Chains A and B, each alone.
Chain A
Amino acid sequence: MPTSQTVVDEHAHENPALLHHFATESQQKNAASLGMWVFLAQEVMFFGGMFCAYLIYRYKYFADFGSASQQLDIKLGAINTAVLICSSLTVVLGVRAAQLGKRMALVFWLVATILLGCVFLGIKADEYAEKFEKHHVPGPSFSYHELLPGQEKLPAAERQYANPHHAEMYFSLYFAMTGMHALHMIIGVGLFGLLAWMAWRGKYTPEYYTPIENAGLYWHFVDIVWIYLFPLLYLIDRHR
């Protein structure tokens, strides 16, 4: 006997969010989740290339990198780390609100995430501005005349200065890595803006909140990248 299965009249009582090429909502949800995980895998590889370059040069020019690293403001970096971790918390609380069908709470937590993201970006902009003022931005106007770590303890005549080329290497990688990270954050903030607006219009229900979940995954990833960036970039040789 033919074992064909006629298509169930799926339009009868489906969620309007179910796209036509999926058979069931759970298939759609699983596909979207897997898609986001695969996307994050390629993001890991993307950042990985820069991390690789950074680790190689840090090994080669450790002292100079230490000097350059100490030009960064560790307080601002730490605050940013805390800000991002909190923003991951607000995202999770948003997902929870979506699961419970609490529309205004969801909007609230998404907006909170956006605000925290903007705080991060604002602090980052401030840090970048300071680097610009001190001519630590790589390129034609780069100039660097700082001591190696620990040298300030020595008498003035003996102090060693960092190699400016190597310091520029550090800052090239600093701007590339934090810049790429900031770009991903800006995209994330924009994404959450969109989601917050759609949440406010009631698009997400306990049966369908996949975009919130997947955007949350993306945001957690961006957070984790920062959690690697912070110690690698800011905390070289600080114990001296």
Chain B
Amino acid sequence: MFGHLPFWPESASTNAGNVDALYIFLLLVSGIMTVLIFTVLTAFAVRFRRRKGQRAEQIEGSHHLEITWSIIPFCVMLVFYIWGAVIFFQERTPPRDATEVYTVAKQWMWKFEHEGGQREINELHVPAGRDVKMIMTSQDVIHSFFVPAFRIKQDVVPGRYTTLWFHATKPGTYHLFCSQYCGTEHSGMIGWVVVMEPSEYEAWMSGAGGNQPLAVTGQKLFSELGCVTCHRSDTQGRGPDLAGVFGKPVLLADGRTVTVDENYVRESILEPGAKVVQGFKPVMPTFQGQVSDEQLNALVDYVKSLAAPPSGRPANTNGAAAPQP
């Protein structure tokens, strides 16, 4: 919306313009209110200053006025509310096919891993014109991922994933700040988001490190850690078949239904007894302390990557038919 104005942050995402519009509206209304009140106060201060022979007039009040100046401001505030809520809802609803980047925050650096396996520290390369979703967790304390140019921020909490998405518009290099106080080098936990033209981004991706894709790493771990022994695709396993479960609802043993998202997969690895799928016994061991956050990311990405099985077999296993070995 703006070029680079002084005393105004750069705008480099679709969200930025939306937030700026609301902010400017708020500024205008507040400015008008402020000028109004200051003017009236000044006018009264001058007009009704003490003068010889003039007495103050005792006025009890006015119901009409009280109601008027309660309801009208409240209605204006509802506009602020609804407008802000709409923006917020959009911010919190990542599009389906967003490019995903896993983030692990730790004191005092940002570790990024793209799905292709590329790893970055404190610098995040993203393509312009594409939706990007950050799947973030912390290794230690609460941090917060803040990119002023995108007008977007999300706390990064240990023990769970939080997500944030954006659609960068303008190639350039933009500040990344940690905005939740996290100890000694909090103000040093900064970096850059480098937005590139899609073609340059592709070039960068292929050049950036020869790591295997995240899901492949996850698949290796899935096998090394023994997950594959129970989570089999032939419904004979002690654990549910994971093909195609990601993103779908699943019925739990206690009757609740949850959606299989990143947090559910992560929780199932670290605290398997918390939300056991109906029809399965709570026999899965915990991997708390045995897998790092990066390895968890790989496993989550692997589960995500498992496509739905060929038609003819139910995507999700209800263990009612599975005999227990």
Contact = CB atoms under 8 A, between A and B. Distances in A.
Instruction: Report A-B touching, CB under 8 Å.
Output: yes
B263 to A, nearest CB: 14
Nearest to A162: B273
A64 B271 CA distance: 12
Contacts of B274: 60-61
Interface in A52-77: 60-61, 63-64
Contacts of B282: 160
B286 interface: yes
B273 A158 contact: no
Nearest to A161: B273
A63 B274 CA distance: 9
B283 A63 contact: no
Main secondary structure of the interface of A (DSSP, over half): helix
A163 interface: yes
Which of the four size classes fits the interface of chain A? under 10
A163 B283 contact: no
B230 to A, nearest CB: 14
B281 A163 contact: no
B281 A158 contact: yes
A8 to B, nearest CB: 36
A150 to B, nearest CB: 12
B268 to A, nearest CB: 14
Contacts of B283: 158, 160
B220 to A, nearest CB: 28
Interface string B255-297: 0000000000000000101100000011100100000000000
Nearest to B288: A165
Contacts of B281: 158
A213 B271 CA distance: 51
Contacts of B273: 63-64, 160, 163
A141 to B, nearest CB: 19
Nearest to A163: B273
Interface in A15-74: 60-61, 63-64
Contacts of A163: 271, 273, 286
Contacts of B271: 163
A158 B324 CA distance: 12
Contacts of A158: 281, 283
Interface string B100-126: 000000000000000000000000000
A56 to B, nearest CB: 14
B283 to A, nearest CB: 7
A114 B158 CA distance: 48
B212 to A, nearest CB: 34
A137 to B, nearest CB: 22
Nearest to B324: A158
Nearest to B272: A163
Contacts of B286: 163
Interface in A124-181: 158, 160, 163
12 contacts: A60-B274, A61-B274, A63-B273, A64-B273, A158-B281, A158-B283, A160-B273, A160-B282, A160-B283, A163-B271, A163-B273, A163-B286
Interface of B: 271, 273-274, 281-283, 286
Interface of A: 60-61, 63-64, 158, 160, 163
Given A61-B274, A163-B271, 7 more contacts: A63-B273, A64-B273, A158-B281, A158-B283, A160-B283, A163-B273, A163-B286
